[in-house]
Amino acid sequence: MLKKIFLFLLSLPLFSIENVDQILKKMTIEEKVGQMIMVEAEYLSSNKNDIKRYGFGGIFYGENAFPTPNIPSKWVKTIQEYQNLSKMTRMQLPLFVAANIYHGNNKLFNTVIFPHNIGVGSTFEPELAEKIGKITALETLPIGINLAFLPTLSIPVDLRWGQVYETYSENPDMVGKFIKHYLKGLQNENISNKYSLLACIRGYPGEGGLKNGIYNGNIEITTNELTNIHLKPFKIAIENGAKAIMLSYASFNGVEVHGSIFLVQDLLRKELKFDGLIFSEQNAFYELPGNYEDQILTAIETGIDIFLISHEYKKFFQTLVKLIKEKKVSEERINESIKRILKLKEEYNLLKKSELSIYSSDIAKIGSKEHREISREIVRKSIVLLKNNGILPLTNTYKRILVCGKNAKDVGNQCGGWTIYKNGSWQRFLHLTNGMITKGTSIYYSLKERLKDTEIVYQKEPPYLKQKEYDLAIAVIGERPYAEKNGYRKTLTLDYEDFLHPDIEVLEYRDTRVIRKILQAKIPLIVIYIGGRPLLVKNIVKKSSSFLTAWLPGTEGDGVVDVLLGEYSPTGKLPFRWPKNVFQNPIKYNKKQNYLFPHEFGLSY
């Protein structure tokens, strides 16, 4: 009986919106400041009681952080402990628990890793993003993460930028359609729903406009381009339930975004009518001019509600309390942020969601066959066939097939960045484990499993090939996993990464050398490109029998092979124009040029 009463009480909202003002009056300055801070979990591991001491509004898991072992039960135990500590504070407010959630629950081992957004955009079916959002929520909420920092919501201009794969399309209207459906799946139509995962939209006001694609550099675009291109997806996201937006690390025409009243107050609050929470990027206020106090003052005046802080959270707390007590920051300004925080925690039904036992029966669904089949469907639809001289779909007439290239037998390379680690399987030399960073199926293993009557031979790079030694060669080439700054390229040349990292592991399998050996042996060649953006591949396309891009398909390599075998005729189309030379980058929206492949190009069988 007592258990039923307890569960009933948990189902009730934390407080009514009408009572926010009353709760606000009860809060001390210190309690208000605590709610404006989200601390990186890594820095709380040996100081857990600081949650109780400072009354933080939330915690977040950093780029490469997770409990050890990285299994659901450990996540639940760790986060539930944090939530219980927050309920020991005087106000008993539950924590937002956040992480970078980019293509499925990419923080946990053996979840379903969906294609990155560039692949999802290639489907030209925004409704598929809703399926991804729904499954992502189902695989994330049960371990205790209740706030998802999303990929950047941007329109890429310079393809050298390391975050191109986080974006859906060069067309802002199409990006808007995808984010609308993704939010519907992720957040549910009612965010108080048990299976609603709160989204934090990243990249405001448009990181895709970074000059030369330099990470956290300067967004150099006109006000007209900002309004008519880069802000369009944010407007649609707000109209479709976005409750939290994170400011970009970058500058906008020379002014730090975190210090721009024009971007935050005039555009975001007034013109776009956003009344939700504005988040800082992690420790981003350090980039503002002046001393530590000046930096916090500027960020507060700009209108930031929640600050993501790492190791100096105590200093931030003490400094902001001091500024308020010295009347350098008005308590009225702080109250504006606290009202928004309290209102969203109530609206989101966070008290109920902070009791993780309500999800105990859902743990078994994480990484389920049903979820993987949906991801496989999306992979199939994301494949873009760029050339085919009739060699595809594959027939059963081949006796010996060579499968080669660094991405043929590597689930980690298929998944790309933001898979367990920020830089995926290339974080801390994990590539030496053959890329099995999480449960999944590589293209090679899928082919070998399904072409039982054909001899399938795998060599990352064949040492030497005799003429017609194989009936067919399938080279799976492209990029290795990266994220953000590590993804920046000075050139879009295919082997640029190999020259950049000249270690013996890389020199053993240069893509262009693999292709050259196959062509010299006069073996029919199918090229599968795995990567996060278009690279300069004009000559390879010209000399291959067939060329298709699978982008970064995630864990379900079977979806790629479904297309190779003709079990699904390719329907994917390019979400970006594909340049034929360096002079066609940057790609300006609506700019007329004779590209190697135009926007929306894609063949079928």
Burial class (CB in 10 A: 0-12, 13-18, 19+), 431: buried
Phi, psi of 360 (to 5 degrees): -55, -35
Position 4 confidence tier, pLDDT thresholds 50, 70, 90 = very low
What is the residue-averaged pLDDT of the chain?
93
Beta bridge mates, 61: 99
Q: According to the model, what pLDDT value does residue 545 have? A: 98
pLDDT higher than 90, residue 588: no
Domains of the chain by residue range = 17-365, 383-584
At which residue do the structure tokens 């900002």 appear? 226
pLDDT band for 122, please (50, 70, 90 cuts).
Answer: very high
Owner of token pair 């067309």: 171
Predicted confidence (pLDDT) at residue 16 exceeds the cutoff of 90? no
What are the DSSP calls for 506-534, one per residue?
HHTT-HHHHHHHHHHTT--EEEEEE-SS-
For the stretch 550-577, pLDDT in tens is 999 999 999 999 999 999 999 999 999 9
Of the pLDDT bands very low, low, confident and very high (cuts 50, 70, 90), residue 428 is low
**Phi, psi of 201, rounded to the nearest 5 degrees:** -75, 130
- Quote the distance between the C-alpha of residue 372 and its chain's center: 18
Asked whether residue 504 carries a pLDDT value surpassing 90, the answer given is no
Spelled out in words, what is the top-level CATH class assigned to the domain 383-584? alpha beta
Q: Give yes or no for residue 435 having a pLDDT over 90.
A: no
Of the candidates 288, 343, 328, which has an alpha carbon nearest to the alpha carbon of residue 14?
A: 343
Which pTM does this prediction carry? 0.94
- CATH fold, domain 17-365, is TIM Barrel (3.20.20)
Segment 461-499, tens digit of pLDDT: 998 899 989 999 999 999 999 999 999 998 898 876 655
Mean pLDDT of 533-562: 97
Helix (H) or strand (E) holding 449: helix 443-450
